Amino acid sequence: MFWTLLLCHLLVGLLFFEAKDSQKGRWCLKPLTSACFVALACTFALHEEGPQRWVFWGLVLGFLGDVLLIPKSKPIFLLGLVSFLLGHMAYIGAFVVYGTDPLLCAASLLVLAPVGYKIFLWLKPHLPANFLLPVLAYVVTICLMVAAAFGYITEPKGLMLFVAATLFWLSDICVARQRFMKPEFINKAIGLPLYYAAQLLFVWAHV
């Protein structure tokens, strides 16, 4: 519980600095907050193989993405987007190793694909030209990740993992709105707790 409680306390501080729009505060607290879920993941990554290792690398890539999203630079933000995309691919890898049900995955995509397409169309007018393909690839990848999680939902820890994937998806909508549409604190106030809850659920399902 130590790392979980520390993350929660740091998240409160991070939200305070986000409300103040303090870049120094972000640099101080966001890497530390994200490092907590990586530290917690080390409890299973050091002695487990298979899907646990895929989840661990997904968390590490999430940590890297968090750091890369702090600067205002668009090229660095793009690197952060790529880092998160690779993290979602790692989570997909974990679900494949677990044995996600292809039929359940396909069924969930009947819902996720149209919703993902609508989200992309919602964002498209606000995207710089060089972000169109990366954002489209990201939307496709995270929809596949949620679908892979749904395909595992009937297993003992499947519901927890599906909730984690869904919360991650919702938090990314907040990130996109913040970055490309309307920057305001409400995006962070909703998105950050959803994101850290998602990462913690990915960890808790394996400890």
Q: What is the pLDDT of residues 112-134, one digit of tens each?
A: 999 999 999 999 999 999 999 99
Stretch 27-51: mean pLDDT: 87
Q: At 205, which helix (H) or strand (E)?
A: none
Q: What is the pLDDT of residue 44?
A: 74
pLDDT at 1 (0 to 100) = 84
The Cα–Cα gap between 76 and 127 comes to 16
Across the chain, mean pLDDT equals: 95
Backbone angles phi, psi at 152, to 5 degrees: -110, 5
Kindly tell me the sign of the dihedral angle through the C-alpha atoms of 178, 179, 182, 185.
Answer: positive
pLDDT(45) > 80: no
Q: What would the two tokens of residue 152 be?
A: 């595992």
The band of 49, judged by pLDDT with boundaries at 50, 70 and 90, is confident
Give residues with Cβ within 8 angstroms of 13, minimum separation 6: 25, 29
What value does the mean pLDDT take over residues 8-18? 98
How far apart, in whole angstroms, are the C-alpha atoms of residue 204 and residue 59?
12
Task: Tokens for 141, please give them.
Answer: 């990848």
Closest of 68, 157, 52, 147 to residue 108, by C-alpha: 147
50: left (phi over 0), alpha (psi -120 to 50) or beta: left
**pTM to 2 decimal places:** 0.95
Q: pLDDT class for 6, splitting at 50, 70, 90?
A: very high
What pLDDT does residue 134 have?
Answer: 96
Q: Which two tokens stand for residue 90?
A: 């790692």
DSSP state of 155: S
Query: Would you state the pLDDT for residue 48?
Result: 67
| pLDDT surpassing 90 at residue 13 | yes
d(Cα 14, Cα 10) in Å, to the nearest integer? 6
Q: How confident is the model at residue 104 (pLDDT cuts 50, 70, 90)?
A: very high
Alpha helices of the chain — where are they, by DSSP H?
Answer: 2-20, 23-45, 51-68, 74-98, 102-123, 132-150, 158-176, 185-204
Handedness of CA 90, 25, 186, 159 (dihedral sign): positive
Across 13-19, average pLDDT: 98
pLDDT at 46: 66
Q: Residue 82 — very low, low, confident or very high, per pLDDT cuts 50/70/90?
A: very high
pLDDT at 129: 94
Band (pLDDT 50/70/90 cuts) for residue 206 is confident
